[in-house]
Chains A and B, each alone.
Chain A
């Protein structure tokens, strides 16, 4: 499977715990994005990487959120001290480094904070 893969697919955690999600983009794609999708809504942009550089962060990304993309390959999204409002689907997408082509999405990680 050469698509975007995300791990885990589902995560249930207690409020206050830290969680980390992983995204493996399509191998030749330089651009990587994280989005958050709550129930019944469209995805909302969180952050963007060009290779290993994090070039933009949304105001949605509070101080409890951090994302990395070491070596410009896979990426991780960590949420510290989770809150119930963090419950959502976290989607990762990647696209080629040139032009304005479409982004390809993974199947997402569904986070439930109890």
Chain B
């Protein structure tokens, strides 16, 4: 069965500092998809990034960047130059290609990020 672990429960930083969120996953599938979602206080989960297991290229999108390492089953996420509006709970999630349930997601426990002015 698949599993996602986010070891950091809460991170507090001062505005403009970088924040790196750790994510480790377990799956038996050779093809899978990894996601990061943001959940602000309003409650809605907002999609941030998606990565396929067969593409280990790391990318940067604006202030977001991610480091996908298949060898260590890690999918870490970095917010550069954090802002107060980045304060939220961030979830790492996994979707297996072989699953019957479409794009069913398995979520980690979340990391609460608090950015102080």
Contact = CB atoms under 8 A, between A and B. Distances in A.
Interface of A: 31, 33, 35, 40-45, 48, 50, 55-56, 89, 91, 93, 95, 100-108, 110
B89 to A, nearest CB: 9
Nearest to A32: B102
Contacts of B42: 107
A103 B47 contact: yes
Interface in B84-117: 91, 93, 95, 97, 100-110
Contact of A44 (B100, B103, B107): B107
Interface residues of B, number: 27
B50 A102 contact: yes
Nearest to B33: A100
Nearest to A50: B102
Nearest to A91: B45
Interface in B27-64: 33, 35, 37, 42-47, 50, 52
A42 B97 contact: no
Contact of B109 (A42, A107, A108): A42
B104 A33 contact: yes
A7 B44 CA distance: 13
Contacts of B109: 40-42
B44 A48 contact: no
Nearest to B37: A105
